[in-house]
Amino acid sequence: MSHRGRRVAMVVVAVLMLALLASCAPPAAAPAGQGQAPQGQAEKAAPAAKQKVLRVWITWGDNPAQLQSLFNKYGEAHNVRVEVNSPVSEDKVIAALSGNEPPDVLVLGGPDSVGSWAREGLVTPLDDFLSDGKVDINDIFEAPLSQCKYQGTYYCLPWGTDTYALFWNKDLFEEAGLDPEQPPQTMEELAEFAKKLTKVDKDGHITQVGFVPDFSWSHLDLYTAMMGGYWYSDDGTKILFTSDPVVGALKWEQQFYCDYNADEVLRFTSAFGGYMSPDNGFYAGKVAMMVDGEWQPGVNFIQKYKPELYYGVAPFPPPADHPERKDTNLVSGTVALIPSGVKDKATAWDLMAWMMSPEIVAEEMVANFNLPSSKKAAQDPRFHENKKFEVFLKLMADPNAKAPILTPINAEVGTELGQIEEKVLHTCADPMPLLQAGQEKLQPMLDKALSGQ
């Protein structure tokens, strides 16, 4: 009997057990390279022994160095050091908000969580600060501003913002015998065009698709707005899943899967390459029309991955019987807020007010190819050089521009709607029973959340 062998085995087992234990430690979310302090910070740290430090966390950003250098301007003017951390993951943000040392200013990609954070007292209400005149609230576009309002109080301010429009591939339009300069004028026409733009080979496999309503992610909010409503009542107290606009939007979306073979559409679209890659379904000419945001015509997207793409951008069309809903769009995007745990709120507010000044908004949003939230910034000629980008600027300023309504259960509602949309589109289920069940589940949750103020 080989005792030595067994001992060796035992050691191996012990070591591997440790390794396994380590590997099943608490689940960590996407461990991408977050939280790395950008360069330039270290070298600035040396001078001025007791310089005040302000911390800004940004949940997005593929160019941390640019963000840091932008905030360095504030630092130099006010003799403070601004540390920018970008991109920060949502988990870290939640941990920081509940901790004692939250960042002085937090910049989020969208306002979705602000409602529930406001309810939990994690965010500073801004109404008192807004009265000091450092920020001209009339200079902020109404639609993006309204996304920061929760129960009549502002909890954040929009920095940049996003909206969506229709993109179409002019080459594919020509191939299908359509006028490449003429995008669909109604939602009905869009479906007709999509049919002409869809190609199926002899085996019944799709090789080109006209329009995919949930490409590259859900746009149910836009379609619902076009159908004349939203899934909350205006005051955010009632869930309106079973209202005509929501049902109508889902049914309109469903035809793009279920008038074809839903499995084939899904199989075809799931084979598309990454969003930011030349294999993006739209860039690669596999989808003829898509709904996407103002960043697409910019230097970081189509110009970078498919500069030769021959395409147009137009407002998403209204339904044929409601031409007055022309240019309806849902504006939502980057917002800045002050966590309630910040001790020196006045200084944080001063920094935030600086961020909101038209020059800074213009500079950052030009660099990022996002819509400026400030009306003065929007006058900046740099925003008007790109005609395709201008389409979005006009949409945001349009009286039909709307913002999502904030409630404390936005996340739950978003998940529920996402799952319903998935079932309706990918399995051709009837939307009504699903919406009914979702509403019955979520309305009590909303009532409870609202009453627990």
By the criterion CB under 8 A, which residues form the site for another protein? 1-2, 5-6, 8-9, 12-13, 16-17, 19-21, 23-25, 27-31, 90-91, 94, 97-98, 116, 120-122, 216-218, 263, 266-268, 270-271, 275, 340, 409, 411-412, 414-415, 417-419, 422-423, 426-427
Task: Identify which of residues 398 and 421 has a Cβ nearer to another protein in the complex.
Answer: 421
Q: Which two tokens stand for residue 233?
A: 């009542």
Q: How many CB atoms lie within 10 A of CB 23?
A: 7
Min. distance of Cβ 124 from another protein in angstroms?
A: 12
Task: Identify which of residues 121 and 323 has a Cβ nearer to another protein in the complex.
Answer: 121
Task: Identify which of residues 262 and 432 has a Cβ nearer to another protein in the complex.
Answer: 262
Min. distance of Cβ 121 from another protein in angstroms?
A: 5
Min. distance of Cβ 225 from another protein in angstroms?
A: 18
Task: Identify which of residues 182 and 436 has a Cβ nearer to another protein in the complex.
Answer: 436
24 and 50 Cβ atoms separated by less than 8 Å: no
Tokens 């006009």, residue located: 394
Min. distance of Cβ 249 from another protein in angstroms?
A: 16
Min. distance of Cβ 209 from another protein in angstroms?
A: 12
Which of 345, 378, 349 shows the shortest CA–CA distance to 361?
Answer: 378
- Please give the Cα distance from 250 to 31 (Å, whole number): 35
Cβ density class 38-50: b for 16+ within 10 Å, e for less: beebeebeeeeee
140 and 333 Cβ atoms separated by less than 8 Å: no
Task: Identify which of residues 29 and 48 has a Cβ nearer to another protein in the complex.
Answer: 29
Q: How many CB atoms lie within 10 A of CB 262?
A: 16
Task: Identify which of residues 121 and 278 has a Cβ nearer to another protein in the complex.
Answer: 121
Min. distance of Cβ 20 from another protein in angstroms?
A: 5
Task: Identify which of residues 122 and 225 has a Cβ nearer to another protein in the complex.
Answer: 122
Map residue 381 onto helix, strand or coil: helix
Cis bond upstream, residue 98 (ω within 30)? no
- Please give the Cα distance from 67 to 72 (Å, whole number): 9
310 and 169 Cβ atoms separated by less than 8 Å: yes
- Please give the Cα distance from 89 to 32 (Å, whole number): 9
Min. distance of Cβ 412 from another protein in angstroms?
A: 6
